[in-house]
């Protein structure tokens, strides 16, 4: 755990040093940062949006916001059995779990050319896990717990057309605090699958037509 925090701080420190030494070229970036993860052997979507500053086309840092549901419309809760140790004796309940968190991230571009961009990303986040216990007879009880997490990932962006890039990545997320049963649920791999479309270039390609 301490090594994960160290890596993140090192990325941010390196980024700041690089920005001071080189000619300052700063670009604001606002991007979708959704991904999927495996929880309780099920694929769960994590909706994300991040905003940051890209320095010298090499280092990016900023903040992101993530949730396992989008406005309560898209996404799904994690179904699991939760043991409530606050009761005597402890009791097990069917439960639905979802979470939100805010993160500070640092991203470094390892490789970039006309056809490929490979990046490494580290983030530390703080947020909340919501646990809805189903106690029977239409009775429900909500538990909320604050959590701190760390995530590391690698991501590749491959150009297929001038206007289309395919995106894929792998990483791992784990909680730094909390109950063992919650940590076991959310300590899991993450994977990224998506595409990026440059609509300006697409419009030009459509006007130009096949060659």
15: helix, coil or strand? Answer: helix
The answer to whether the pTM exceeds 0.75 is: yes
Q: How far apart are the first and last CA of the chain?
A: 54
Contacts of 5 (CB under 8 A, 6+ apart): 124, 150
Per-residue pLDDT of the chain (211 residues; tens, 9 = 90+): 554 555 555 555 554 544 444 456 899 989 888 888 887 777 888 889 999 999 998 999 999 999 987 766 667 777 888 888 888 888 888 888 888 999 999 999 999 998 899 999 999 999 998 888 887 766 788 888 888 999 999 999 999 888 888 999 999 998 998 888 888 888 889 998 888 777 777 777 787 766 5
Which domain CATH number covers 112? 2.40.160.20
Q: Return d(Cα 60, Cα 124) in angstroms, integer.
A: 15
- Domain span at residue 67? 2-208
Assigned token pair, 2: 């301490």
Which residue reads 């699991």 in tokens?
80
Assigned token pair, 167: 């995106």
Domain count, the chain: 1
Assigned token pair, 104: 């500070």
Nearest to 18 by CA among 62, 48, 54: 54
């Amino acid at each position: 755990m301490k090594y994960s925090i160290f890596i993140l701080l090192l990325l941010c420190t390196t980024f700041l040093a690089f920005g001071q030494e080189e000619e300052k070229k700063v670009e604001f970036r606002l991007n979708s940062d959704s991904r999927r993860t495996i929880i309780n052997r099920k694929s769960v979507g994590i909706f994300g949006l991040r905003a940051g500053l890209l320095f010298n086309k090499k280092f990016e840092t900023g903040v992101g916001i993530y949730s396992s549901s989008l406005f309560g419309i898209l996404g799904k809760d994690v179904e699991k059995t939760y043991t409530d140790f606050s009761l005597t004796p402890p009791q097990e309940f069917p439960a639905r779990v979802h979470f939100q968190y805010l993160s500070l991230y640092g991203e470094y571009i390892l490789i970039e050319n006309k056809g490929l961009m490979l990046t490494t990303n580290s983030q530390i986040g703080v947020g909340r896990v919501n646990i809805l216990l189903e106690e029977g007879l239409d009775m429900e009880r909500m538990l909320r717990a604050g959590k701190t997490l760390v995530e590391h990932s690698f991501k590749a962006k491959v150009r297929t057309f001038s206007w289309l890039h395919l995106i894929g990545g792998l990483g791992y997320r784990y909680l730094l605090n909390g109950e063992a049963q919650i940590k076991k649920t959310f300590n899991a791999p993450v994977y990224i699958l998506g595409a990026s479309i440059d609509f300006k270039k697409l419009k030009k390609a459509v006007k130009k037509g096949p060659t």
